[in-house]
C-alpha cells in the first residue's frame, strides 16, 4: 500500500484524501471513513487512477453521488473513487444527450426538457449521478435508462477503455452488466426525441410534484430501499405489514413512503441494516414475499 500511495501522490490525479469520513458523500449521511478517497479532475485522471489501482492490486469502490448506497460504519478499506468536477458536464448533439458520469441525473432531465427533447422526464426525481443511473438502470413512471440508452464509455477494472452499447449492458430491472463486470462509467449518451417544450415541462412538473408529495426527499434518505416484487409494490407490502413509523436507533420507516428509511439524525449503518432485516422478516411472515434490497451495502462489516 505504501508503494501505491507514493506513486499516487506523484501521479497527481486530482484531490486525494486519507481516512476521509463518507457521511458527507452519501445522501443517507451515513458511513465510516475511506482509507483513500480519490476525486479525479478529468477523464484522463479517472482512467489513470483505475490503471494505477490495478497495477498495485488495491481493493477499490466506485462512489457516485452517494444515493442508493449504504456505507458501513467501519468504512471502506482500500480506495474509493468518486468521479468529480471534470466529469460534471452535458452536451447535446441533435437528439442525443451526452453527459459525464458525475452529472446530476435530475439536472440532465431538466436540461433535456429545455432543449425540447423528450424521453428523460422519468428522471426528474431520481437522485444520483448519470454514472450511477447507468449502473443501476435507474427508472420510474414506467420507464428506465435502458429505454433511452445509446452507449457508455467505461474504464474496466483492468484499466481497459471500452464503449458499451445497449446489447452489451445486459439491462434488467435495476441491473446492468456492471454489477458483474467491475468498471466506472466515464460518460453516457442517451437517444431522445424532439418534443413540445410545454408538454415536456408540464409532465416533468407533474412527476416532480408527485414525488415531493409522496416521498421524503427533503430528509436524509437513499431512495427506495427494496425492489418492487413482480406485480406488486414494496411500499404497499411494508405499509400493509404495519411498519410505517417503526424505528430502530436513528433509522425510521418513513410515514410518507414506506419504502424509504430516514436517518433521523443519529442513525448508524447498523441501525439501517437491522431495520431492513426487520422489514424483510415481517413482510415475509405476513405475505410470504422476501423483499430484495435495492440499495447497495458496501464497506467493512
Residues 6 or more apart whose CB falls under 8 angstroms from that of 235 comprise 224, 257, 258, 259
Residue 294 bears catalytic tag: yes
Q: Which residue has the cell 405499509?
A: 239
Judge contact between 274 and 248, C-beta under 8 A: yes
CB-CB contact of 27 with 221 (8 Å): yes
Single out the catalytic residue among 102, 104, 224, 254.
224
CA distance 213 to 222: 17
Choosing from 102, 104, 121, 174, the catalytic residue is 174
Which of 20, 121, 187, 294 is the catalytic position? 294
How many residues appear in the chain?
301
The answer to whether 185 touches 153, Cβ cutoff 8 Å, is yes
Work out the angle between the directed axes of helices 2-11 and 43-56 (0-180°, nearest 10). 160
**101 with 185: CB under 8 angstroms?**
yes
Q: Which residue matches cell numbers 407490502?
A: 237
Q: Which residues are catalytic?
A: 174, 224, 294
Amino acid at each position: 500500500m505504501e508503494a501505491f500511495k507514493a506513486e499516487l501522490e506523484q501521479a497527481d490525479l486530482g484531490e486525494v484524501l486519507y481516512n476521509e469520513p463518507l457521511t458527507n458523500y452519501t445522501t443517507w449521511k451515513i458511513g465510516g471513513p475511506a482509507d483513500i478517497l480519490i476525486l479525479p479532475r478529468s477523464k484522463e485522471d479517472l482512467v489513470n487512477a483505475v490503471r494505477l489501482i490495478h497495477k498495485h492490486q488495491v481493493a477499490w469502490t466506485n462512489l457516485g453521488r452517494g444515493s442508493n448506497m449504504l456505507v458501513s460504519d467501519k468504512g471502506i478499506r482500500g480506495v474509493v473513487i468518486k468521479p468529480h468536477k471534470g466529469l460534471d458536464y452535458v452536451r447535446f448533439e441533435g437528439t442525443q444527450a451526452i453527459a459525464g458520469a458525475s452529472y446530476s441525473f435530475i439536472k440532465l432531465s431538466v436540461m433535456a426538457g429545455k432543449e425540447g427533447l423528450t424521453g428523460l422526464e422519468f428522471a426528474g426525481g431520481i437522485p444520483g449521478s448519470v454514472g450511477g443511473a447507468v449502473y443501476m438502470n435507474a427508472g420510474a413512471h414506467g420507464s428506465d435508462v435502458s429505454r433511452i440508452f445509446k452507449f457508455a464509455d467505461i474504464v474496466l477494472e483492468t484499466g481497459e477503455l471500452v464503449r458499451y452499447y445497449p446489447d452489451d449492458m445486459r439491462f434488467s430491472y435495476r441491473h446492468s452488466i456492471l454489477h458483474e463486470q467491475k468498471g466506472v462509467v466515464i460518460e453516457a449518451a442517451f437517444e431522445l426525441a424532439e418534443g413540445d417544450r410545454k408538454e415536456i415541462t408540464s409532465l416533468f412538473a407533474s412527476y416532480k410534484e408527485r414525488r415531493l408529495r409522496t416521498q421524503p426527499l427533503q430528509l436524509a434518505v437513499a431512495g427506495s430501499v427494496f425492489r418492487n416484487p413482480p406485480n406488486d409494490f414494496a411500499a404497499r407490502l411494508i405499509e400493509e405489514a404495519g411498519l410505517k413509523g417503526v424505528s430502530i436507533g436513528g433509522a425510521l420507516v418513513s410515514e410518507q413512503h414506506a419504502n424509504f428509511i430516514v436517518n433521523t439524525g443519529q442513525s448508524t449503518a447498523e441501525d439501517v441494516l437491522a431495520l431492513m432485516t426487520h422489514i424483510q422478516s415481517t413482510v415475509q411472515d405476513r405475505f410470504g414475499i422476501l423483499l430484495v434490497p435495492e440499495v447497495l451495502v458496501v464497506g467493512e462489516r
